[in-house]
Chain A
Amino acid sequence: NAGVMQNPRHLVRRRGQEARLRCSPMKGHSHVYWYRQLPEEGLKFMVYLQKENIIDESGMPKERFSAEFPKEGPSILRIQQVVRGDSAAYFCASSVLAANNEQFFGPGTRLTVL
């Protein structure tokens, strides 16, 4: 059973471009969480999704950021018109059941905005 997979592991974008980060949860997991780790800071919760539903997006910036978890395929975190402040590591985690169950983290995607 493969763990949580994230790709790409490293992503470089120029200001104004779009960034798409993918997360494939563990097999059998239908709950996905996205976190952002800014340099020198801790992890910050962004969004919690179940298949085809956004359950909690209280940590998502109101503009430029969106997330989805379609019925088929990976969860996508999309950042439009990236700015330098978006440079960070973005982690995805998945769980079998609702939040506060065991969460298995992916290796993260490191986004660098030039």
Chain B
Amino acid sequence: AQTVTQSQPEMSVQEAETVTLSCTYDTSESNYYLFWYKQPPSRQMILVIRQEAYKQQNATENRFSVNFQKAAKSFSLKISDSQLGDTAMYFCAFMTQSDMRFGAGTRLTVKP
């Protein structure tokens, strides 16, 4: 069975510092996509970053970057220069052609 594990239910970081959220997954598929979603209190799911498994280069979107370790099945999210607006739940997700799985989420609090 395909699973996604986020081992950190809650994290906090000081404003302007860097934080890394962990995600591991388990699959026997070779082609898949990985995502990080941000969910603010509005409950909307905002796509933060996306990584194709066949790409070795780590995806980057402004202050957000990932460390994709395919062999280790690890997909961590690094947030640089944390801002108060980054406070939210963050979900890691994994998708193949026929299936999509989510982690349980990490609640990130950015402190002023």
Which residues of chain A have a CB within 8 Å of any CB of chain B? 33, 35, 37, 42-45, 48, 56, 59, 89, 91, 93, 99-105, 107-108
Q: Is the interface of B mostly helix, strand, loop or mixed?
A: strand
Given contacts A100-B107, A102-B9, contact A48 B43 (CB under 8 A): yes
Besides A99-B43, A102-B9, A104-B104, 7 other CB < 8 A contacts? Answer: A44-B45, A59-B43, A59-B44, A103-B102, A103-B104, A103-B105, A105-B101
Question: What number of A-B contacts does a CB cutoff of 8 Å give?
Answer: 50
Which 3 A-B pairs have CB atoms at the shortest separation, nearest pair first? Answer: A105-B102, A43-B45, A42-B47
Q: B46 on the interface (CB 8 Å rule)? A: yes
The answer to whether B100 and A108 have CB atoms under 8 Å apart is yes
Q: B83 on the interface (CB 8 Å rule)? A: no
- How many of chain B's residues have a CB under 8 angstroms from any CB in A? 20
List the B side residues contacting A102 at CB < 8 Å: 9, 104-105, 107
The answer to whether B47 and A89 have CB atoms under 8 Å apart is no
Q: How far is the CB of A102 from chain B (nearest CB, A)?
A: 5
The answer to whether A100 and B41 have CB atoms under 8 Å apart is yes
List the B side residues contacting A43 at CB < 8 Å: 37, 45, 47
Q: How far is the CB of A50 from chain B (nearest CB, A)?
A: 14
Contact among B35, B41, B44, B100 for A91, CB-based, below 8 A = B100
Q: How far is the CB of B1 from chain A (nearest CB, A)?
A: 10
Q: How far is the CB of B82 from chain A (nearest CB, A)?
A: 18
